[in-house]
Structure 1
Amino acid sequence: MFNKKIGFILVLALAAGLGLLAAQKYFGPAAPATPWPATQAVTMFPQARPLPPFSLRQSDGTQLASGELNGHWTLVFLGFTFCPDVCPTTLAELAQAQAQWKDLPDSIRPRVLFVSVDPERDTPTRIGEYAHAFHADTLAATADVPTLENFAKSLGFVFMKVPGKGYDENPNDYSMDHSSAIGVLDPQGRLAGLIRPPFQSRAIAADMRALTETSAK
């Protein structure tokens, strides 16, 4: 177990450090470089890159497919509702950021998308209740494991099921290790940058406001 955990931590580190390189190989030709405003929390990529087609199931039972995030800057975070620390802490910071940009018009207001990587336990209803407890505007979705793996890969993220000591007797005794960074999608639905922890709601809100206002010009 220890070796597996160490190995996964190394994978997370490599994914964070080499995310842009992986994206370049995965996505192919890039869009032209965009003159983004200076940012504090967001590490903008020199070139935004389209995501491969995807389809996730939202908390209300509808599908969230490629193109439906267009028109807004979107922050994407992977997690699960049984997460003891990273997920609630991150969603709390994002909720504070959402409160700081609530005055922006709904038509361009940034979005937050929480994607559960634990479909065995996290039903659409459960993830909706969980995410909305932090902020009512947060989108929540999940999918089957292969779909989630492809979606995570497109963001340069990874996740893995980690059985607990009592897993043989109790199939629900497990946790999920997952990338802790936040993917930043531009209004064309392209991966434009990353936010790495530690997260600061004021810096995130300021960046998303600046990016939204630049795009709206």
Structure 2
Amino acid sequence: MFNRTTAWILVVALAAAIGLWAGHRWYSRPAPSALPQTQAVRLFPEPRVLPAFSLQQSDGTRLVPGELQGHWTIVFIGFTHCPDVCPTTLAELGVAQKQWEGMPDSVRPRVLFVSVDPERDSAIRTGEYAHAFHRDTLAATGDLPSLEAFARSMSLVFMKVPPEAGQPADRYSVDHNATLAVLDPKGRMAGIISPPLVPQAIAADFKLLTPTVAR
């Protein structure tokens, strides 16, 4: 009787152990991702709230966090004297923007170009430059501390590069990220787009994301 009882206890204990092991294996599995399957946009697992900012838009109004809510927004920092990256990037984004023109204004994805060269680029000049690539592009700039804080909040960087020897002082350049920040409809940083850019993939991603309610 003792042996049978002992054997039964061992069987029950073994079954319980197997059940606990199986349960642990099942519940410790990563939950299936709820993020949309995008091509060009790399979405973060959790969007990041941005600190307060205030920049000057080309239409004379202030660009504050509330202005970037209600739409998915692509943020690109650059400058109007940029010889290659900026015009190429804005031209490629313009191709994507053309594919969104049939979407309602209330939800249409937006592109924001921020000049990080306040010495040479006024808000108006920044707007004229950006609108040459697409009329809907938002454009803004600000003083250097405001621009540095804005860029840093999205893990973007820029740096003034002095002109070559013998060149005028205003012939400097500005090194900056080619990566684009992606803000969700709550104005939070939700992801990035890394070069090389594929306009068709970007356009498709934001058509997919637009009906998605930000978490």
TM-score by length of 1: 0.81
Q: Indicate the residue corresponding to 1:16 in structure 2.
A: none
* Aligned 8 A contact 1:80 1:116 in 2: yes
Q: Percent identity?
A: 64
Q: Which moved more, 1:186-195 or 1:120-129?
A: 120-129
Q: Secondary structure at the match of 2:153?
A: helix
- Is 2:88 aligned against 1:89? yes
Structure 1 residues not aligned, in runs of 5+: 1-33
2-structure distance, mates of 1:113, 1:166: 34
Structure 2 residues not aligned, in runs of 5+: 1-32
Q: Indicate the residue corresponding to 2:164 in structure 1.
A: 165
- Is 2:114 aligned against 1:153? no
- Is 2:131 aligned against 1:132? yes
Q: Indicate the residue corresponding to 2:143 in structure 1.
A: 144
Q: Secondary structure at the match of 2:170?
A: coil
**Where do residues 92-107 of structure 1 align in structure 2 (5 Å cutoff)?**
92-107=91-106
Q: Indicate the residue corresponding to 1:197 in structure 2.
A: 195
- 1:56 maps to a residue whose letter is L
Q: Secondary structure at the match of 2:210?
A: helix
1-structure distance, mates of 2:192, 2:34: 16
* Structure 1 residue 215: Cα displacement: 2.8
- Is 2:80 aligned against 1:54? no
1-structure distance, mates of 2:125, 2:64: 20
2-structure distance, mates of 1:102, 1:214: 19
2-structure distance, mates of 1:166, 1:88: 26
Q: Secondary structure at the match of 1:96?
A: helix
* Structure 1 residue 67: Cα displacement: 1.4
* Structure 1 residue 166: Cα displacement: 4.0
* Structure 1 residue 123: Cα displacement: 0.8
1-structure distance, mates of 2:60, 2:195: 31
- 1:185 maps to a residue whose letter is L
Query: Which 4+ residue blocks in structure 1 deviate beyond 4 angstroms?
Result: none
Root mean square deviation, CA, Å: 1.4
Q: Secondary structure at the match of 1:210?
A: helix
1-structure distance, mates of 2:34, 2:70: 18
Q: Which has the larger radius of gyration?
A: 2
2-structure distance, mates of 1:205, 1:87: 19
What is the aligned length?
182
- 2:196 maps to a residue whose letter is P
- 1:63 maps to a residue whose letter is R
* Structure 1 residue 35: Cα displacement: 2.6
* Aligned 8 A contact 2:163 2:169 in 1: no
* Structure 1 residue 124: Cα displacement: 1.1
* Aligned 8 A contact 1:166 1:173 in 2: no
Q: Indicate the residue corresponding to 2:18 in structure 1.
A: none
Identify the match of residue 206 of structure 1 among 186, 201, 204. Answer: 204
Q: Deviations over 1:153-206 (max 9, x none)?
A: 100010000011147x62202000001100000000000000000001000000
TM-score by length of 2: 0.82
Q: Deviations over 1:43-76 (max 9, x none)?
A: 1000001100000100122101111110000000
2-structure distance, mates of 1:102, 1:166: 46
* Aligned 8 A contact 1:36 1:211 in 2: no
